[in-house]
């Protein structure tokens, strides 16, 4: 039986403003595609045919994009109140009450062999060793199985962080643990935590296995958004030559973008129908329809439909921003 994918994507993304004033986090572009596109493409590789997508803030935009770009059976569930990740999964109980399920966070891209995760004994949990486990849910492992889960421990006894990738052989067991939390109003740090429901499963005899993953990327804040873009651009095809344009790979430049007399890259993603004239751009993400002229940019995040001229430096600008420098910088 093929698993149903549950993708919680109801977060507001306050640390990513001004971009998330107009886009949900799951639609932010990375290496030429929105985050949710990377996630769904990976799920398709293991035969997922049905997705339960938990939406909230700006959910209509996310729903419209998925419906336009994917021929999948997709159920949309609105999380009316943001009461934690466990609560987000709890809202899907009627749409996916039982059977195998893959849970993938809607703002996290994981590089992993999903077929290996599906074959792991018991319920598989994606984990990765990190330098500072205090920021994450942490798994303690003994004899090849997870024996304890702690959400953001002050004194970690393990460096294995949960990366937001879970395979439940029967999601009914998780829903039972979530009902236990919600019915008793059992919260950690004011929210219903998924880690607490998973611990409930362990305490009731369920086997949870750690599954090491290779890469773990998120768009939680501007610096990690740019870092994720850099990582996922690795191996991107070099754009076709254009007169007067120098590409420094890796870059992503769609055919619909107009680029002239410019140097682009490394680590630059350009959106659809963007226009770039006489610019030098490095380590940046340029939104759809944005127009740049005479700019030297680095470490920049530009939302769709921006207009910039004769600027130099690093910028983080929301949709339809307008800016112009007094003195044109040097050429590209």
Neighbours of 187 (CB within 10 A): 16
pLDDT at 329 over 60: no
Q: How high is the pLDDT of residue 177?
A: 95
pLDDT at 253 over 60: yes
H or E element in which residue 201 lies: helix 194-203
Instruction: Report the percentage of the chain scoring pLDDT > 90.
Output: 62
Distance separating alpha carbons of residues 3 and 299, to the nearest angstrom: 39
pLDDT at 328 over 60: no
Q: How high is the pLDDT of residue 246?
A: 95
Distance separating alpha carbons of residues 277 and 197, to the nearest angstrom: 53
Whether the CB-CB separation of 285 and 226 falls below 8 Å is answered with yes
- Could you report the per-residue pLDDT of 25-75, keeping only the tens digit for each? 999 999 999 999 999 999 998 888 899 999 988 888 999 999 899 988 899
Of 150-159, 161-170, 177-186, where does mean pLDDT reach its minimum? 150-159
- Could you report the per-residue pLDDT of 105-130, keeping only the tens digit for each? 988 898 888 888 888 889 999 998 88
Domains of the chain by residue range: 4-228, 235-324
Average pLDDT over residues 263-288: 96
CATH number of the structural domain 4-228: 3.90.550.10
Average pLDDT over residues 228-254: 92
Q: Do domains 4-228 and 235-324 have the same CATH topology?
A: no
Average pLDDT over residues 189-216: 91
Q: How high is the pLDDT of residue 113?
A: 84
pTM of the model: 0.88
H or E element in which residue 137 lies: strand 137-142
CATH number of the structural domain 235-324: 2.160.10.10
Average pLDDT over residues 75-86: 90
Q: Which residues contact 32 (CB under 8 A, 6 or more apart)?
A: 236, 252, 254, 269
Q: How high is the pLDDT of residue 330?
A: 60
Average pLDDT over residues 131-154: 86
Residue 208, φ and ψ in degrees, nearest 5: -115, 125
pLDDT class of 331 with cuts at 50, 70, 90 = low
> What is the pairing mode between strands 4-9 and 251-252?
unpaired
DSSP type of residue 47: T
Q: How high is the pLDDT of residue 264?
A: 96
pLDDT at 277 over 70: yes
DSSP type of residue 52: E
Distance separating alpha carbons of residues 39 and 8, to the nearest angstrom: 12
Specify the higher pLDDT residue, 326 or 87: 87
């Amino acid at each position: 039986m093929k698993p149903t994918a549950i993708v919680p994507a109801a977060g507001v993304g306050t640390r990513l403003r001004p971009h998330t004033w107009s886009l949900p986090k799951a639609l932010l572009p990375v290496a030429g595609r929105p985050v949710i596109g990377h996630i769904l493409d990976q799920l398709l590789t293991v035969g997922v045919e049905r997705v339960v997508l938990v939406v909230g803030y700006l959910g209509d935009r996310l729903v419209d994009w998925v419906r336009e770009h994917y021929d999948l059976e997709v159920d949309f569930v609105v999380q009316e109140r943001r009461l934690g990740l466990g609560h987000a999964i709890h809202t899907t109980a009627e749409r996916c009450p039982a059977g195998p399920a893959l849970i993938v966070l809607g703002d996290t891209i994981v590089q992993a062999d999903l077929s290996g995760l599906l074959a792991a004994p018991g319920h598989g949990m994606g984990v990765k060793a990190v330098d500072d486990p205090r920021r994450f849910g942490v798994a303690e492992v003994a004899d090849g199985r997870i024996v304890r889960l702690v959400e953001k421990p002050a004194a970690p006894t393990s460096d294995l962080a949960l990366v937001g990738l879970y395979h439940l052989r029967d999601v009914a067991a998780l829903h039972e643990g979530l009902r236990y939390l919600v019915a008793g109003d059992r919260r950690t740090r004011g929210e219903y935590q998924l880690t607490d429901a998973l611990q409930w499963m362990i305490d009731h005899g369920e086997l949870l296995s750690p599954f090491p993953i290779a890469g773990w990327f998120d768009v939680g804040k501007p610096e990690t958004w740019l870092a994720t873009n850099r990582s996922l651009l690795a191996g991107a095809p070099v754009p076709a030559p254009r007169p007067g344009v120098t590409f420094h790979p890796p870059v992503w430049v769609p055919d619909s973008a107009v680029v002239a007399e410019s140097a682009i890259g490394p680590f630059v993603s350009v959106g659809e129908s963007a226009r770039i004239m006489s610019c030098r751009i490095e380590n940046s993400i340029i939104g759809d329809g944005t127009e740049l002229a005479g700019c030297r940019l680095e470490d920049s995040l530009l939302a769709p439909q921006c207009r910039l001229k004769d600027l130099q430096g690093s910028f983080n600008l929301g949709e339809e921003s307008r800016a112009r420098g007094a003195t044109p910088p040097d050429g590209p």
